[in-house]
Amino acid sequence: MKNSIEDCAIFGGSAEFPQPLHVGRPNIGSRSSLFRRINEILDRNWLTNDGPMDREFEQRLRDLTGASNCIAVSNATLGLQLLCHALNLTGEIIIPSFTFAASAHAFLWQGITPVFCDVKPGTFHLDVDQLESLRTDRTSAVLGVHTWGQACDTEAVTAFAAAHDLRVIFDAAHAIGCEHEGKPIGTFGDAEVFSFHATKCVNSFEGGAITTSNDDLAERLRLMRNFGFRGNDNVISIGINAKMNEVCAAMGQTSLDAYDEFVAHNQENARAFAEGLAPITGIDLFEPRPGQRHNWQYIVSLIDEPRFGLTRDELVAVLSAENVLARRYFYPGCHRIEPYRSLFPNAGDSLPNTEHVCENVLVLPTGTQLDATEARRICELMSFASAHAAEIRSRWSDESASAEMRTSD
């Protein structure tokens, strides 16, 4: 533990942790189970193209999400792009700016313009009260994002879309195994898209899945993910290669085997963070809605500089030096990255809540890489940083002034 700011790694002291702690470091699961599955794949000599491992993974995802159809894909971005074609989207789609870049890129890549919606105050989710003002005669769909695994207002989004004959897609990249009002995420809207990227609670090295209750839509998606082939040589629609290979499906199943273990570990860490951060002024911790199944994949907070004493970015710098690689999500907001920054230079004027969240949100490491004891040590570092904020800033200011003088000399 630090006794003075001289002990801080950013000022030359020893780092609190010998190895970097990352946000989203992969959960591996049982290597022996993974290797057994890979050997089965090699014995069958069936490496891709809707193989047994892929079909079994899809069935297990249907069981977990309650969806009647599940289409595994090579990644979630391609899942969104397949839906653009399968749902015949055109023109514009309303999406939150507070989301990962891929959520916007997937649509613009297909020639569909993302129209950015602000997040509702006090939440990280699309503000449904703004949907009507953003709708035009070119709007064809709305994308809701289940940020941090907590569902957005699915009822309001769906009702708005139904009133205007729009399609509804939910980005469930964070939300595998989560539920909303007692109903599994994976069963809402026209379709939901999950990510099984290496950083997710369930990973398939790289991959994703689309769930839908619409059988006709599911059939179109299955065709499209395999070049439009039905059978060996009968191409009946346009398509692309978006299939999940057998090895990725094997890793996905290995993750599902350990899902309950991963979630229990995440939840133990979350309790430690909640206890350790509670006494610190200026840290507002996100907590899932009570009574809802959740995967606890993310430890999320908002840093209030006037109360905490440091900005979020100053705190990130302090923690990074200690090998706690906390993250700014989804900084700086989709509307402030290219090409959207150039396409919509004044978008930030109508996204004040998004800008506030982007400037202040902090996501901390969790997962199987650390335990509750290490989580408490991270909390102690943050408490120390807040208690010594004025000294830390003064030291930074002095060192910056010295560096400027040396440069001028």
Of residues 180, 177, 257, the one with CA closest to residue 209: 177
pLDDT tens-digit map of 210-246: 999 999 999 999 999 999 898 888 988 889 999 999 9
Q: Is residue 130 part of a domain?
A: yes
Q: What one-letter code names the amino acid at 329?
A: Y
The arithmetic mean of pLDDT across residues 243-259, rounded, is: 98
Res. 399 pLDDT band, cuts 50 70 90: low
Res 403 pLDDT > 60 = no
Instruction: Express each pLDDT in 158-174 by its tens digit.
Output: 999 999 999 999 999 99
Secondary structure of residue 193 in the 3-state scheme: strand
70 and 138 share a domain? yes
285 strand-pairing partners: 301
**The predicted structure's pLDDT at residue 407:** 47
- For 389, the token pair is 């904020």
Q: Which of 205, 231, 257 is the last residue of a domain?
A: 257
List the CATH number of the domain containing 312.
3.90.1150.10
Question: Range of 113's domain?
Answer: 31-257
Residue 294 in this model has a pLDDT that exceeds 50: yes
Q: Which residues in 114-124 are b (16+ Cβ under 10 Å) and which e?
A: bbbbbbbeebb
Residue 402, pLDDT > 80, answer no
Where does a domain end: 208, 224, 257?
257
Res. 14 pLDDT band, cuts 50 70 90: very high
| pLDDT mean over 286-304 | 94
Classified as helix, coil or strand, 395 is helix
Q: Which tens digits make up the pLDDT trace of 260-274? A: 999 999 999 999 999
Domain assignment present for 306: yes
Q: What is this structure's pTM?
A: 0.94
pLDDT reading at 115 higher than 90: yes
Same domain, yes or no: 151 and 269: no
CA distances from 317 to 181, 337, 349 (A): 39, 22, 28
Helix (H, G, I), strand (E, B) or coil at 8: coil
Please, what is the average pLDDT of the chain? Answer: 95
Which of 231, 237, 196, 235 has its CA nearest to residue 217? 237
Q: In which band, very low, low, confident or very high, does the pLDDT at 340 lie, cut at 50, 70 and 90?
A: very high
CA atoms in the 13 A half-sphere facing the CB of 400: 6
pLDDT at 228: 87
Residues 6+ apart with CB under 8 A from 131: 94, 117, 142, 157, 160
Give the model's pLDDT for residue 400: 60
Pairing between β-strand 208-212 and β-strand 283-285 as defined by DSSP bridges: unpaired
Q: Residue 40's pLDDT is what?
A: 98
* Of 333, 330, 340, residue with least CA distance to 108: 340
**Domain assignment of residue 78, yes or no:** yes
The pLDDT of residue 2 = 84
Angle between helices 52-65 and 31-44 (to 10 degrees): 130
Task: Answer yes or no: do 14 and 55 share one domain.
Answer: no
What is the tally of structural domains in the chain? 2
Residue 218 in domain = yes
Phi, psi dihedrals of residue 164, rounded to the nearest 5°: -120, 15
pLDDT, greater one: 409 or 179 = 179
Q: Which of 296, 101, 300 is nearest to 201 (CA)?
A: 296
355 located within any domain: no
Q: What CATH number is attached to the domain comprising 169?
A: 3.40.640.10
CA–CA distances in Å: residue 7 to residues 13, 20, 276, 307: 4, 18, 21, 23
Residues 93 and 110 in one domain: yes
Predicted confidence band of residue 398 (pLDDT cuts 50, 70, 90): low
Boundary (domain end) residue, out of 235, 257, 279: 257
On the question of pLDDT at 346 being above 70, the answer is: yes
In this predicted structure, the answer to whether residue 60 has a pLDDT above a threshold of 90 is yes
DSSP state string for 257-324? HTHHHHHHHHHHHHHHHHHHHTTSTTEEE--PPTTS------EEEEE-HHHHSS-HHHHHHHHHHTTE
What integer pLDDT is reported at residue 405 of this predicted model?
Answer: 44
Helices 52-65 & 246-257, crossing angle to 10 degrees?
40
**Residue 401: which pLDDT band, with cuts at 50, 70 and 90?**
very low
Torsion sign, CA atoms 263, 218, 69, 94: positive
pLDDT for res 25: 93
